[in-house]
């Protein structure tokens, strides 16, 4: 198997997008290609088809490569639950919570998991497109590194470095990054890619010539700023949302530890939905629906909500006839209490909930990870959907006797969530509801039965369109033949 690694001068340089685009390019060229990220730190994750948890970016890259998602594509996933603590997920399963200094010592063990996945993939695929994390030049993180050059050295693979010119300082970023690498690591760097360039590339040529002369590393291409690119985000919340024909306004509260906000990408992209991400310190705008999203530290985030008077803001919204949807951690917040006796997510062992529904939640050590099918119970016509569960905790109580959904879990039909007696509040553990056209439309009708929105937004079709356009852009602006040579592909 051939391996090619993409590293970046900074976070958000474009590594995830470049790997996704190259996965689609090589898939189009009939190569059996797979994505790989040794270590990822992200709160947006996905449930794989083999029943584990990986970073959202690797799930997207699997789609780009036309491969079913699997745990080996991201063997180590770190999910921050505080400023210094993370949940460590190895081969798709949560092992423990660790403080940063403890994880530093754990890296040697983590590298074994990384190499195990690497070798499993090596036996199946023609090409492994690998994504680094952050920057390889972070001096304090280089010891026992598994995310960047530590991995590249271990498997002896070539590296491409990408840098974002839009933020300025691109030549300093590239030259400085290269200078901070060891001699053997520098020799691995076989090409540079400059990302997000605006304007005439001819005006950049003198700088490119200088860079190649200075570093002896070729520039493989300059990618334009793709204004309309909209793919699954790894972490950053995209708040741009200018619409001309708005029929419903939906507000999503940005929790300090918000997770899986990609649940709402279909709403953000829908032409008739004004999706507003509301910061926790801001007032709640006039809207039809408020969404409490998932959280990696539900007790901590509920504490922040209370400190910023959000119970009053939410109750005022409900008094004026607005609707409220709680998803996963947001669903748990709606009940009377949340207990964390084992310290799964924080040092706090419990908190009083918002009290908007009669049920309680206890966080448990076993995380539920499952792709599911089901149908809604709050619609007049049966409305089916596909989604997934990814949560710690068991909820129980009287409110759950009026479920929002019936779901099929391994052939067993079970209830999920609740609908309030006044039909104003829905709570659910299910992620990905808005990815379904029919379910999106059903929720729009629940929010406002008089709306005239004809259908939801087909996120899967949109994703395919975006990936194909991205691949065309890379083919146009990158030296794909040179990249094939670097990767060792000769046919």
Active site residues: 328, 431
Compute the distance between CA of residue 300 and CA of residue 305 in angstroms, rounded to an integer: 9
Compute the distance between CA of residue 173 and CA of residue 403 in angstroms, rounded to an integer: 53
Compute the distance between CA of residue 170 and CA of residue 222 in angstroms, rounded to an integer: 12
Give me the sign of the Cα torsion angle 117, 34, 80, 369: negative
Centroid of chain to Cα 295:
13
Residue 311 near residue 336, CB atoms below 8 Å = no
Compute the distance between CA of residue 74 and CA of residue 59 in angstroms, rounded to an integer: 9
Compute the distance between CA of residue 118 and CA of residue 344 in angstroms, rounded to an integer: 30
User: What are the residues facing 59 on neighbouring strands?
Assistant: none
Compute the distance between CA of residue 285 and CA of residue 149 in angstroms, rounded to an integer: 46
Place of tokens 């797979």: 34
C-beta pairs of 385-388 under 8 Å, 24+ apart in sequence: 385/430, 385/432, 385/433, 385/436, 385/438, 385/439, 386/432, 386/435, 386/436, 387/430, 387/431, 387/432, 387/433, 387/435, 387/436, 388/46, 388/47, 388/430, 388/431, 388/432
Compute the distance between CA of residue 376 and CA of residue 385 in angstroms, rounded to an integer: 8
Burial class (CB in 10 A: 0-12, 13-18, 19+), 421: exposed
Residue 171 near residue 210, CB atoms below 8 Å = yes
Q: Could you tell me the strand order of the sheet in which 219-224 lies?
A: 33-36, 127-131, 2-8, 159-164, 189-197, 219-224
Question: Encoding tokens for residue 336?
Answer: 């009377």
Compute the distance between CA of residue 129 and CA of residue 15 in angstroms, rounded to an integer: 11
Orientation angle between helical segments 170-179 and 205-215, nearest 10 degrees:
10
């Amino acid at each position: 198997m051939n391996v090619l690694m993409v590293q970046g001068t900074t976070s958000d340089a474009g590594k995830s997008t470049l790997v996704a685009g190259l996965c689609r390019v090589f898939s189009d060229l009939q190569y059996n290609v797979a994505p790989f990220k040794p270590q990822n730190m992200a709160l947006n994750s996905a449930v794989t088809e083999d029943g584990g948890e990986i970073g959202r970016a690797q799930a997207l890259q699997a789609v780009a490569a036309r491969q079913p998602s699997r745990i080996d594509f991201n063997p180590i996933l770190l999910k921050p639950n505080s400023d210094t603590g993370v949940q460590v997920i190895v081969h798709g399963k949560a092992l423990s919570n660790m403080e940063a200094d403890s994880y530093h010592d754990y890296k040697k063990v983590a590298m074994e998991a990384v190499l195990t996945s690497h070798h499993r993939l090596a036996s199946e695929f023609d090409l492994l497109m690998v994504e680094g994390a952050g920057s390889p030049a972070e001096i304090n993180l280089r010891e026992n590194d598994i995310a960047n050059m530590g991995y590249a050295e271990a498997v002896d693979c070539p590296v491409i470095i990408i840098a974002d010119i839009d933020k300025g300082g691109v030549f300093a970023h590239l030259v400085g990054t290269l200078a901070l690498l060891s001699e053997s690591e520098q020799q691995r760097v076989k090409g540079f890619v400059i990302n997000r360039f605006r304007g005439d590339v001819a005006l950049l040529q003198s700088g490119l010539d200088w860079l190649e002369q200075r570093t002896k590393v070729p520039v493989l291409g300059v990618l334009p700023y793709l204004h309309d690119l909209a793919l699954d985000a790894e972490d950053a919340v995209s708040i741009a949302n200018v619409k001309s024909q708005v029929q419903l306004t939906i507000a999503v509260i940005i929790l300090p530890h918000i997770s899986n906000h990609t649940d709402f990408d279909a709403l953000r992209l829908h032409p008739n939905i004004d999706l507003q991400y509301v910061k926790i310190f801001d007032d709640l705008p006039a809207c039809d629906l408020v969404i409490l999203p998932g959280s990696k530290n539900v007790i901590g985030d509920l504490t922040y909500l209370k400190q910023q008077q959000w119970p009053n803001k939410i109750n005022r919204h409900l008094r004026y006839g607005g609707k409220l949807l709680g998803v996963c951690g947001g669903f748990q917040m709606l009940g009377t209490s949340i207990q964390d006796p084992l310290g799964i997510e924080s040092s706090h062992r419990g908190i009083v909930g918002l009290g908007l529904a009669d049920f309680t939640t206890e966080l448990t050590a076993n995380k539920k990870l499952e792709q599911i099918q089901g149908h809604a119970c709050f619609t007049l016509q049966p409305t089916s959907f596909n989604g997934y569960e990814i949560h710690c905790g068991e909820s129980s109580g009287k409110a759950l006797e009026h479920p929002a959904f019936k779901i099929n879990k391994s052939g067993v039909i079970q209830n999920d969530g609740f609908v309030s007696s006044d039909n104003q509040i829905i709570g659910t553990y299910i992620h990905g509801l808005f990815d379904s056209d029919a379910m999106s439309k059903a929720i729009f009708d629940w929010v406002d039965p008089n709306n005239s929105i004809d259908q939801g937004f087909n996120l899967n079709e949109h994703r395919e369109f975006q990936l194909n356009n991205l691949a065309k852009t890379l083919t146009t602006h990158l030296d794909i033949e040179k990249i094939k040579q670097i990767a060792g592909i000769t046919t």
